[in-house]
Amino acid sequence: MNRVPLKDSLFMGFCAVFLLVTKGAMRWHLGISGHAMFLTVFFLMLARGCVASRLAATVTGLLAGAGAVALGMGHGGPVLLLNFLLPGATIDAGARIAPGLFTSYARCALVGATAGATKFAASAAMDLMVGMDRAIIVQHALLESVAALLFGIAGGLCVPPVLRRLEAHGVIQARAGGA
């Protein structure tokens, strides 16, 4: 059995808690769909970039999603878990597929966009539960996911310089390949 060291577990918990705290503190109603995906992608990619576990972003997303459901953040109840879990799984898959993910701005932007696009599934599930017409569900979920995709790109682009600074100050160890 592959065990995660305590330091890595604490860091994943830190990323999950800090994601929830920043989302709670910055509950701005900007009128821009998908702006919450910026912080989600940033902290999930940061967790995956700092922790050597293959499921670091997924576990961090699961912790943040469970915390958001328990605290009643947002609307949707248990479906809210998908807003954190799906981007985390996508980031983990991207880190496995793209070697050196966290050293490349282009790869981080691509994985951030893919993670942002997972908003389609969560939005469609929520709309389906409310009983919307299927054509409206597709249109609404598509609009939500395009906006989230753009904010996912922005969140992904913030990760490489932060990881470089953490490595330079000795907070994390530099790994070959950047993932």
Distance CA 26, CA 35 (A): 11
Domains (range + CATH), the chain = 6-178 (1.10.1760)
Express each pLDDT in 110-123 by its tens digit: 999 999 999 898 88
Confidence grade of residue 177 (pLDDT, cut at 50, 70, 90)? very low
Instruction: Quickly list DSSP for 36-103.
Output: HHHHHHHHHHHHHHH---TTHHHHHHHHHHHHHHHHT-SSSGGGGGHHHHHHHHHHHHHHHHSTTGGG
Model pLDDT, residue 169: 87
Confidence grade of residue 28 (pLDDT, cut at 50, 70, 90)? low
Q: For the chain, report the end-to-end CA distance as a whole number of angstroms.
A: 21
Mean pLDDT of the residues in the chain: 88
Model pLDDT, residue 174: 65
pLDDT (mean) for 13-25: 89
Confidence grade of residue 125 (pLDDT, cut at 50, 70, 90)? confident
